Structure 1
Amino acid sequence: MTSPDDGTDDKPGVTIRCRDNASVGVTFCDRFSFDAGSVRYAVELRAPGLTARVNEVVAWIWDSDLTTFLEALAADYRGWDGERSWQTDDRDLTVSALFRPGGHVGLTWALRPWPQAAGGWGASVTTWLEAGEQMASLATHVRHFLIGEQQ
């Protein structure tokens, strides 16, 4: 299940909750931009016993962005073989997708800031969504968040 965050601070965000376990989720929040060529945002992962956050994930406008990846998954609602994946240029956010029988998509959201630094850390959660409508809704919400449109 995805939804735009309706926080009291009026800051836009998107939350993805696992349909199998609502305590597992991902939040995109704290969007900002220094220039016209990029947007920066925070990503938070949550699961029982886990909270992880990267404060500055960078999306460059000339890249194949996350929404393009999510829209392609939504368009293939009948399924696919194997794993599909996407990552930021800095590789601090990676998303892998698997299709399971019954029309569900498992999205594994992995954070690994400073992947080249010694002593770095990594964390991941997997959210399960319906292949059609929920994936399309996720792609729409993420697109609006990244371009800075309120919903």
Structure 2
Amino acid sequence: MTSPESVIIRCQDNAAVGVTFRDRFSFDADSVHYAVELRAPGLNARVDEVVSWIWDSDLAPFLEGLAADYRGWDGERSWRTDDADLTVAAVFRSGGYVGLTWTLRSWPASGGGWGASVTTWVEGGEQLAAFAAGIRQFLHGER
């Protein structure tokens, strides 16, 4: 099965703020590699090779769980890759919106030690569920 070439999430409060998942590839049946790009006014950041392992809880179930809890929750929920080059922190605000703070970090071995974050605010029910489904399709090649 094929997966979409890219998946994009944009902030409802400012469409210039967004996150793009693209350039998916695999070396074997155990992992999926992809690039993540953050953008906001004055910011463009990219990690070229984020890795999701099939035996770990990947991003899709995390996002699906947030969408299932569309009535809200207290505090912050978070997810990260094993290498911590991509992290996501989610908070719920009144009106049914979820703030997803996406943080990219350089690989420790690459030097430089940079990091960048953007926050996308999305509708917590249908919009987040559609994005989660797009991520599942992107990562797993499911239709």
Relative to the length of structure 2, the TM-score reads 0.94
Q: Which residue pairs with 1:135 in the alignment?
A: 128
Determine the structure 2 residue equivalent to 1:113: 106
* Structure 1 position 117, deviation (Å): 6.2
Q: How does 1:88-127 map to 2 (within 5 A)?
A: 88-115=81-108, 119-127=112-120
Runs of 5+ unmatched residues, structure 2: none
- Runs of 5+ consecutive residues of structure 1 not aligned to the other structure: 1-9
The correspondence of residues 33-72 of structure 1 with structure 2, limited to 5 A, is 33-72=26-65
Q: % of aligned pairs identical?
A: 73
1:49-101 CA distances to partner (integer Å, 9 max, x unpaired)?
00000000000000011001000000000000000000000000000000001
1:28 aligns with 2:15: no
Deviations 1:29-50 (A, max 9, x none): 0000000000000000000000
Tell me if structure 2 keeps the 8 A contact 1:91–1:115.
no
In 2, the alpha carbon distance for the partners of 1:119 and 1:45 equals: 18
Paired letter, 1:85: S
Q: How many residues align?
A: 141
Measured after TM superposition, the shift of residue 108 of structure 1 is 0.3
Task: Look up the SS of the partner of 1:35 in the other structure.
Answer: coil
- Counterpart-to-counterpart distance in 1, 2:23 and 2:80: 19
Structure 1 counterpart of 2:66: 73
Shift of 1:114: 1.5
Alpha-carbon separation, structure 1, partners of 2:59 and 2:71: 20
Give the SS at the match of 2:118. strand
Q: Are the counterparts in 1 of residues 34 and 49 from structure 2 also a CA contact under 8 Å?
A: yes
CA RMSD of superposed structures (Å): 1.5
Larger RCO, structure (CA 8 Å, separation 6 or more): 2
What amino acid does structure 1 have at the position aligned with 2:128? M
